[in-house]
């Protein structure tokens, strides 16, 4: 039998054999490539994370703090993110992101083959990597599971994960995961958080040009930052708009309007800057109870007692009060100069500039130019010119007090849209102030100021500073006496007196160096007479007075020395304010509290706090003391507060050498304490009494705090059956101590 090939010429037979061999070789090569590819895929996919975990995936979320009306006052987070659903991203934002990042997102199955080929071709053509080929799904896979490096094996893993994600999740689910996860600059993650940060509104309210701006950020959040690089950001925004036009998502007219729109940001204020000392107290408490990871990543909801409106009033009152104090004592100078320290003016940034400034706010500004009659200042993105009228209060020439490179302290009078501002020169010599306001009924802290500037000092003068309280301690003396059965109309002799002590005679005096003779207890407290307070403390025993102070919540260990009656005792503003709330509360003290409720990410209640009430003194004593402290305001050292259009009572406090100035006061519904002084306990200056330095701050705050509210009224004291004049004997012994006013 002849071969099938016998009828063919030899050349043709050889050609067929060659083709067969080539085909066989190609098949072997393909098999090898397939095997190698399969092997590589096996190697690269062995350690791939399971996308099933995405079903239960919850990104790191912000723990937010709310005031008593549900307004955000602070937050804790490693990544500032607000997780929302697909429908919370408006169509215009979704269209903008898809147009610029992944046009075929709703069509492909995780990868876009032709986009990869096109990107590879352009990379080869340009001689480098100029265009990415990752889909939104691939970007999501990389952000969630992989490192950001560009190695080949990572790209393979990214592709495999993207395919798995597409098989398991719908497009809206994938988009939602991506839009909540992506980094968008300045520590912000996700488009909801970005919308709130850059525009101070939820993503649902974004306009076309705003959506385009945000959609352009994933390519390079720092490179296209609208804050640091507005020109680049605007060009990138317009590129997104053009891409949307090409895809038919918007009309030519809409595109033209959006491209011509100026880049306008409404940067959100750092919520922690409103009440930083209050927020810091809560952070320490939460971390101690729940752990740092839960607090900074767990998305807790913390409902607090603070009131945003009252906190704003407290901040303004303290800063204005300190500014008034500074002006009373003249220009001291000694400004920091950053040029002398080697800084470059164009690159200098002050911590105050991290937050958006506000009218009537105070900020440190950089002097960028100082001439004979004018100086130019910079703070953040604002500039201001200062002339001689703005520094007239210093009674010096502008050229003598401001130099290029100086860091000065200013009050913002106005802010223009074009970055121009009007300011007045102020001074920060180091004087500090603190304010604490407590709701009498609930014990809730409504406002707390722990110092002039949290950025410069985290030390909380409302809760941590132990300061001598001066005459604001005297109500504990009178409470001890009244609770023992005395009447405010009982009399005492205000006269020179000397107390024998182991270290020698102690001869105190009154602040005005005068003596009034026989006066009632009511007048003695109202006029803050020192001699009567010492005689009363001696009569009932200073240990009894200290015991009563302890009932009021004073935890400091007070020495059993008679001068403690005049306030030679160190107490925190928190304890002193809480103690004074006993008087309008009919003898009951409600323990101060910061938090009302804490819930987890799912809304489950982790803790709920209710008022903790303690009986301190009798109703009779509380009402009598309230009437006596009311007399301080009506006819005594706090008489300036008598002009307030609602009932108030309280007590001034001034320590020796004017190192500490206090006013502790209350209305029927709220108790507020104010302290002014220096951290190093140096004198505020002559005549800087509690009535002069602290009371104006207290009045400014209480005026706003009580505006539009029913102030209520104090309950009248019980009718006095009789008034017995009594002469107080001199104590047997009392050690000498620093006199308090």
**Calpha distance 689→567 (Å, rounded):** 14
User: Can you tell me the mean pLDDT for 446-475?
Assistant: 96
Instruction: State the Cα–Cα distance between residues 198 and 208, nearest whole angstrom.
Output: 14
- Closest C-alpha among 622, 702, 612, 614 to residue 663: 702
Q: Which two tokens stand for residue 249?
A: 């998502």
Dihedral sign (CA 627, 628, 634, 639): negative
Q: What is the mean pLDDT of residues 519-525?
A: 97
CATH number at residue 180: 1.10.3810.10
Q: What distance in Å separates the CA atoms of residue 393 and residue 712, rounded to the nearest whole number?
A: 41
pLDDT at site 614:
95
Same domain, 32 and 102: no
Contact between 612 and 590 (Cβ < 8 Å): yes
Query: 590 with 581: CB under 8 angstroms?
Result: yes
Minimal CA–CA distance to 667: which of 694, 718, 705, 695?
Answer: 705
> What is the number of structural domains in the chain?
3
Same domain, residue pair 15 and 107: no
**Which residues does 540 contact at the CB level (< 8 Å), separation at least 6?**
477, 480, 481, 484
User: What's the whole-number mean pLDDT along residues 121-141?
Assistant: 63
Asked whether residue 354 is domain-assigned, the answer is yes
Q: Point out the residues that are catalytic.
A: 101, 471
Q: Is residue 638 part of a domain?
A: no
- The DSSP-derived string for 57-88 is ----B-EEEE-TTS-EEEEE-SSEE----GGG
pLDDT of residue 82: 86
Whether 119 shows a pLDDT value over 70: the answer reads: no
**Please, which pLDDT band fits residue 3 given cuts at 50, 70 and 90?**
low
The enclosing domain of 407 has a CATH number of 2.40.50.140
Q: Any bridge partners for residue 499, and if so which?
A: 506
The set of residues, in sequence order, having a beta carbon less than 8 Å from that of 487 and lying 6+ positions away, is 521, 624, 720, 722, 723, 724
Q: Strand 301-304: give its sheet, edge to edge.
A: 72-76, 63-66, 301-304, 595-599, 605-608
**Quick one: average pLDDT of 253-272?**
90
Chain segment 153-186, per-residue pLDDT in tens: 556 677 878 888 888 889 999 999 999 989 999 8
Average of per-residue pLDDT across 358-380: 94
Domain that holds residue 35: 10-46
Beta-sheet pairing, 63-66 with 301-304: parallel
Asked if 105 and 39 sit in the same domain, the reply is: no
Domain identity same for 108 and 190: yes
- How far is residue 734's CA from residue 542's CA, in Å, rounded to a whole number? 10
Give the residue among 20, 42, 58 at the shortest CA–CA distance from 601: 58
> Among the three residues 394, 428, 462, which one is the final residue of a domain in this structure?
428
Give SS3 for 356.
Answer: coil
Its sign, for the CA torsion 565, 571, 576, 578, is negative
- Report if residue 524 sits inside a domain: no
Tell me whether strands 670-677 and 188-189 are parallel, antiparallel or unpaired. unpaired
To the nearest whole number, what is the mean pLDDT of the chain? 88
Structure-token pair, residue 142: 């990389």
Domain boundary pick from 398, 428, 458:
428
pLDDT above 90 for 521? yes
Q: Are 267 and 198 in contact (CB under 8 A)?
A: yes
The residue from 222, 247, 268 where one domain ends is 268
Of 164-168, 242-246, 256-260, 590-594, which range is least confident? Answer: 164-168
Same domain, 24 and 138: no
157 and 254 belong to one structural domain: yes
Task: Give pLDDT, residue 44.
Answer: 47
pLDDT at 466: 97
pLDDT digits (tens, 9 = 90+) for 4-30: 445 556 556 666 677 667 676 677 666
pLDDT tens-digit series, residues 678-712: 999 999 999 999 999 999 999 999 999 999 999 89
Judged against a pLDDT cut of 50, whether residue 723 lies above it is answered with no
Question: Could you report the per-residue pLDDT of 295-311, keeping only the tens digit for each?
Answer: 998 899 999 999 999 99
Closest by alpha carbon to 458, among 281, 678, 282? 281
State both tokens at 167. 């098989």
Q: At residue 2, does pLDDT exceed 70?
A: no
Q: Establish if 663 belongs to a structural domain.
A: no
Q: 133 with 239, same domain?
A: yes
Are 125 and 238 in a shared domain? yes
Does 185 share its domain with 246? yes
Give the pair of three-digit tokens for residue 578.
């809480």
Distance CA 730, CA 496 (A): 11
- Name the helix (H) or strand (E) containing 363: strand 362-370
Q: Is 501 a member of any domain?
A: no
Q: How far apart are CA 183 and CA 191, in angstroms?
A: 9
Residues 102 and 217 in one domain: yes
pTM of this prediction?
0.82
**508 neighbors 535 (Cβ within 8 angstroms):** no
Between CA 135 and CA 100 the distance in angstroms is: 11
Same domain, 99 and 239: yes
Segment (H or E) for 406: strand 406-415
**Is residue 335, in this structure, part of any structural domain at all?**
yes
Residue 504 pLDDT > 90: no
3-state DSSP call for residue 365? strand
Residues 35 and 98 in one domain: no
Residue 153 has a pLDDT of 54
Does residue 289 lie within any of the structural domains? no
More confident residue, 282 or 116: 282
Q: Mean pLDDT throughout 72-93?
A: 91
In a domain, 592, yes or no: no
pLDDT at residue 59, rounded to an integer: 73
pLDDT confidence of 50, banded at 50, 70, 90? low
DSSP per-residue letters across 613-637: EEE-S-HHHHHHHHHHHHHHHHHST
491-495 mean pLDDT: 95
């Amino acid at each position: 039998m002849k071969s099938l090939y016998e009828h063919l010429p030899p050349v043709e037979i050889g050609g067929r054999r060659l083709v067969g061999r080539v085909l066989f070789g190609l098949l072997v090569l393909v098999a090898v490539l397939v095997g190698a590819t399969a092997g590589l895929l096996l190697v690269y996919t062995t350690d791939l994370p399971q996308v099933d975990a995405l079903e239960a995936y919850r990104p790191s979320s912000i723990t937010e703090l709310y005031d008593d009306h549900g307004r955000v006052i602070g937050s804790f987070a490693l990544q500032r993110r607000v997780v929302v659903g697909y429908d919370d991203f408006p169509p215009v934002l979704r269209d903008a992101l898809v147009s610029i990042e992944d046009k075929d997102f709703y069509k492909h199955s995780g990868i876009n083959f032709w986009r990869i080929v096109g990107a590879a071709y352009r990379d080869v053509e340009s001689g480098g990597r100029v265009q990415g080929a990752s889909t939104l799904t691939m970007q999501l896979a990389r952000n969630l599971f992989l490192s950001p490096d560009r190695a080949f094996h990572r790209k393979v893993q990214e592709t495999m994960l993207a395919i798995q994600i597409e098989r398991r999740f719908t497009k809206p689910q994938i988009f939602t995961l991506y839009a909540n996860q992506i980094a968008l600059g300045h520590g912000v993650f996700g488009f909801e958080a970005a919308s709130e940060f850059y525009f101070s509104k939820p993503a649902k309210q974004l306009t076309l040009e705003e959506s385009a701006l945000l959609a352009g950020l994933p390519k390079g959040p720092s490179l296209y930052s609208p804050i640091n690089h507005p020109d680049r950001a605007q060009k990138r925004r317009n590129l997104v708009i053009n891409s949307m036009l090409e895809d038919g998502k918007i009309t030519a007219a809409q595109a033209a309007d959006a491209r011509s729109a100026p880049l306008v940001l409404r940067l959100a204020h750092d919520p922690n800057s409103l009440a930083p000392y209050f927020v810091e107290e809560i952070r320490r408490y939460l971390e101690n109870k729940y752990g740092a990871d839960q607090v900074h990543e767990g998305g807790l909801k913390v409902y607090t007692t603070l009131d945003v409106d009252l906190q704003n009033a407290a901040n303004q009152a303290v800063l204005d009060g300190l500014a008034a104090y500074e002006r009373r004592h003249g220009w001291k100078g000694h400004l920091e100069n950053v040029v002398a320290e080697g800084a470059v003016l164009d690159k200098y940034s002050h911590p105050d500039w991290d937050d958006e400034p506000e009218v009537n706010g105070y900020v440190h500004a950089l002097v960028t130019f100082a001439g004979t009659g004018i100086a130019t200042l910079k703070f953040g993105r604002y500039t201001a010119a200062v002339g001689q009228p703005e520094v007239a209060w210093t009674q010096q020439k502008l050229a003598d007090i401001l130099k290029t490179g100086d860091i000065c302290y200013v009050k913002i009078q106005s802010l223009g849209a074009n970055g121009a501002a009007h300011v007045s020169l102020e001074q920060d010599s180091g004087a500090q102030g603190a304010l604490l306001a407590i709701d009498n009924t609930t014990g809730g802290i409504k406002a707390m100021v722990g110092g002039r500037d949290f950025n410069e000092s985290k030390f909380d003068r409302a809760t941590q500073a132990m300061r001598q309280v001066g005459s604001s301690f005297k109500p504990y003396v009178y409470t001890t006496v009244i609770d023992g059965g005395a009447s405010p109309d009982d009399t005492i002799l205000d006269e020179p007196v000397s107390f024998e002590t182991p270290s020698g005679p102690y001869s105190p005096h009154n602040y005005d160096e005068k003596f009034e003779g026989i006066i009632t207890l009511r007048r003695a407290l109202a006029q803050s007479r020192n001699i009567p307070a010492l005689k009363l403390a001696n009569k009932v025993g200073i240990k009894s007075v200290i015991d009563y102070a302890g009932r009021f919540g004073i935890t400091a260990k007070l020495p059993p020395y008679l001068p403690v009656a005049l306030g030679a005792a160190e107490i925190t503003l928190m304890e002193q304010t809480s103690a004074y709330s006993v008087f309008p509360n009919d003898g009951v003290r409600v323990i101060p509290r910061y938090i009302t409720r804490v819930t987890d990410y799912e809304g489950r209640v982790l803790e709920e706090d209710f008022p903790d009430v303690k009986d301190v003194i009798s109703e009779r004593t509380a009402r009598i003391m309230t009437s006596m402290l009311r007399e301080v305001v009506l006819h005594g050292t706090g008489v300036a507060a008598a002009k307030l259009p609602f009932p108030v009572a309280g007590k001034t406090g001034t320590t020796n050498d004017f190192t500490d100035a206090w006013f502790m006061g209350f209305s029927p519904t709220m108790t507020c304490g104010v302290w002014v002084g220096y951290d190093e306990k140096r004198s505020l200056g002559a005549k800087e009494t509690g009535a002069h330095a602290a009371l104006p701050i207290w009045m400014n705050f209480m005026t706003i705090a009580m505006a539009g509210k029913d102030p209520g009224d104090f309950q009248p004291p019980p009718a006095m059956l009789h008034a017995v004049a009594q002469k107080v004997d001199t104590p047997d012994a009392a050690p000498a101590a620093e006199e308090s006013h």
